[in-house]
Structure 1
Amino acid sequence: MTSVHTPTAPSTPAPSRSTGVALMSGGAVSNQTGAAIGSLAFDTITPAGVVAVRQWLAAVVLMAVTRPRLREFTRAQWRLVLALAAVFAVINLALYSAIDHIGLGLAVTLEFCGPLAVALAGSRRRTDLGCALLAAAGVAVLMRPQPSTDYLGMALALLAAACWACYILLNRALSQTLPHGQGTATACGVSGVLFLPIGIGVLLTHPPTATALACAITAGVLSSAVPFLCDALALRHVPAPLFAIFMSLNPVLAATTGMLILDQHLDAWQWASIAAIVTANTTTVLTRR
């Protein structure tokens, strides 16, 4: 999963915007490359093992960077943190399990329906209705019955999508009460603790090889630490709408990465479905102030 932030940002000069685009590009490529490399360890330590290692690394990095003041948190803030921690735990496990079943490109595309649903929720604009229908058509084509259709993998990807929608809403609420990402970092730390018994159990029953462990660690660095820092820095250089549009390209990037690194090839209908979902999200962002 890639972090989604939607703060208000002023217009920026071209050199600064170029820096922001470079940072967004680096973060997106890093995120999808990390997911692809992490999937190479699935056969050895299972998706749960890879997610556990990723969560532990993300927790250490984010807690070290933000240094949240835990003793100052209120009960209401802790409730939001714990809810977000549960979302973190489920979303990554669901996404990586989906990647194991249906491949990187399709899993990320279906997961992307989560933020799109948040953007379209409650809107009565005709443009948004058209975008919703276009995205729904893309999902319907992806999930059309075929001999090779993996409904479990698709269900896991849609679970990740629902969790991403919850992540956006919870993160938005936390950002209003806890500054500088303290809530997100703490939730990631709690999620890392939740994965201790799961990860230890998996690693004991599925002894990792050096290669598998290296892949899992690489996934943790490339898919958590690097995108988080790149996104945070990019938002200092580009307006939020441009950031949101750029995020829309993640399904295309995921499908391309899956093809280049994992040899996962999609047919014309699947590419068309990805294009429909990306177009729906981009249109939604462009037609809103």
Structure 2
Amino acid sequence: MYVGAAVAVWLFDVASPSGVAWLRCLGAALILLAWRRPGRAAWRGRPLLLAAVFGVVTAGMNVVFYEAVARLPLGTAVALEFTGPVVVAAAGTRGRRDVAALALVAVGVVCIADVQLRGSPAGVAFALAAAAAWACYILLGRKVALDGNGIDSLAVGFAVATVLLSPLALGTQAVWAAPDLLVLGVGVGLLSTVVPYALDQVVLRRVGQARFAVLLALLPVTATVAGFLVLGQVPRPLEILGILAVVGGVAVRSRDNGAVREPP
């Protein structure tokens, strides 16, 4: 996911962050439609409405996230964005292990973020908007996984979102004149949307929202690593400490072997 985000940062020199997010949505829609070829039932009634809402919310999350990444280091933006999943996980806690895991994750996220508001208030605002959208993504994603058509709904949702958010394509004019950049844009859709979101649908059918949200704590870690390897963004000692805390939180929560709700 965050290798794709790092590639997206390269495209910010020739396209707006919102435009790159739209290219990501377009690429994901084309790949998913070609792969899944949803039947007529997926384009009607309640399944269509659920998929459309999910697609628009997810695409909107990507738009505000890219606006944040354009202003903040990748790992920092993801750490702030992770407050959304933390809230979802907190709402589903039931035992001391859950609380301990969330405490470790929260400490880790704060350490990784280490953000000063005077640096980029707009970046912080966009990242927090992405956090709210991410919380909605988890809630809607669970519903799509259990009550919708799974990955077929992803294809329909991103197709609808691509059309509804098409005005953002105005920020991508330079990309269409360079085939290599266009391939990169579609590649971002594959790396950051098709692969991880399809896997999310598989996971969300087998685990609860709270466990899924805590497992997402690994994402600030992978974002920091990707930022270092691809963009040369070197983590500071406090961020490294935060990574260790996040991993510890995931390990504590993952030991829970409680009953798993099977898909209907």
Q: TM-score, normalised by structure 1?
A: 0.73
Q: Separation in 2 of the partners of 1:73 and 1:36? A: 33
- State the match for 2:129 in structure 1: 159
Q: Which moved more, 1:176-185 or 1:203-212?
A: 203-212
- State the match for 1:287 in structure 2: 256
- Give the 3-state SS of the residue equivalent to 2:70 in structure 1: helix
Matches within 5 A, 1:190-229: 190-199=160-169, 201-204=170-173, 209=178, 212-228=181-197
- State the match for 2:143 in structure 1: 173
Distance 1:138 1:180, change over 3 A: closer
Please tell me whether residue 66 in structure 1 is matched to residue 66 in structure 2.
no
* C-alpha displacement of 1:173: 1.6
Kindly report the root-mean-square deviation, in angstroms, between the aligned alpha carbons of the 2 structures: 3.2
Q: Which moved more, 1:46-55 or 1:125-134?
A: 125-134
* Equivalent residues of 1:40, 1:212 under 8 A apart: no
% same residue: 31
* Equivalent residues of 1:45, 1:208 under 8 A apart: no
Task: State the one-letter code of the partner of 1:250.
Answer: L
* Equivalent residues of 2:145, 2:202 under 8 A apart: no
* Equivalent residues of 1:116, 1:281 under 8 A apart: no
Q: Which moved more, 1:84-93 or 1:69-78?
A: 69-78
From 33, 46, 49, give the equivalent of 1:79.
Answer: 49
- Give the 3-state SS of the residue equivalent to 1:123 in structure 2: coil
Where does the alignment leave 5 or more consecutive residues of structure 1 unmatched? 1-30
* Equivalent residues of 1:109, 1:277 under 8 A apart: no
Q: Separation in 2 of the partners of 1:196 and 1:49? A: 9
* C-alpha displacement of 1:145: 6.2
Q: Separation in 1 of the partners of 2:130 and 2:118? A: 21
Q: Separation in 1 of the partners of 2:96 and 2:245? A: 17
* C-alpha displacement of 1:191: 1.0
* C-alpha displacement of 1:156: 1.9
- State the match for 1:262 in structure 2: 231
Task: State the one-letter code of the partner of 2:245.
Answer: A
* C-alpha displacement of 1:197: 2.0
- State the match for 1:119 in structure 2: 89
Q: Separation in 1 of the partners of 2:151 and 2:180? A: 33
From 86, 95, 98, give the equivalent of 1:128.
Answer: 98
- Give the 3-state SS of the residue equivalent to 1:102 in structure 2: coil
Identify the structure with bigger relative contact order (alpha carbons < 8 Å, sequence gap 6+): 1
Where does the alignment leave 5 or more consecutive residues of structure 2 unmatched? 259-264
* C-alpha displacement of 1:101: 1.3
- Give the 3-state SS of the residue equivalent to 1:33 in structure 2: helix
* C-alpha displacement of 1:202: 1.3
Q: Separation in 2 of the partners of 1:72 and 1:221? A: 22
Q: TM-score, normalised by structure 2?
A: 0.79
Q: Separation in 2 of the partners of 1:165 and 1:264? A: 27
